[in-house]
Amino acid sequence: MLDHVGLRTTQFDHLMAFYKAVLAPLGYTVMMEYPGAAGLGRAYPDFWIGADDKGSSNIHLAFKTDDRKAVDAFHAAALAHGGKDNGAPGLRDYTPTYYAAFVIDPDGNNLEVVCNEE
């Protein structure tokens, strides 16, 4: 089981603004802040962003929700804040109830929000 995940970025302020907006539909807020680092979460800071002049992460992240409307809101917020569409909200072939949306964040990470509820 994971406790938290962190991204590193050369554009900290820009990426923080992006993630504050796109994770809001999932109930995420900034819970801890330090110079060049911040933790977002719902109950505790399980998602971290940190400044790093050596480069940015390049990973796939999937956030889970139990509300398909949150998937739609995430996708709309991501596109409005500089994300690039990588799969509009909809059902996927993975399972009969796998409803997800994908975007590429400003650093090139593949970001997904998934709902497995009907």
Identify the pLDDT of residue 10: 96
Tokens (6 digits) for 29: 């807020």
Helix, strand, coil distribution of the chain in percent, nearest 5 = 25, 40, 35
Map out the domains of the chain with their CATH numbers: 5-50+59-115 (3.10.180.10)
Identify the pLDDT of residue 71: 98
- Averaged over successive runs of 10 residues, the pLDDT of the chain (118 residues) comes to 92 97 98 97 97 91 96 98 98 96 97 95
Separation of alpha carbons 64 and 72, rounded Å: 13
Identify the pLDDT of residue 108: 95
CB 87 within 8 A of CB 100: yes
Identify the pLDDT of residue 21: 97
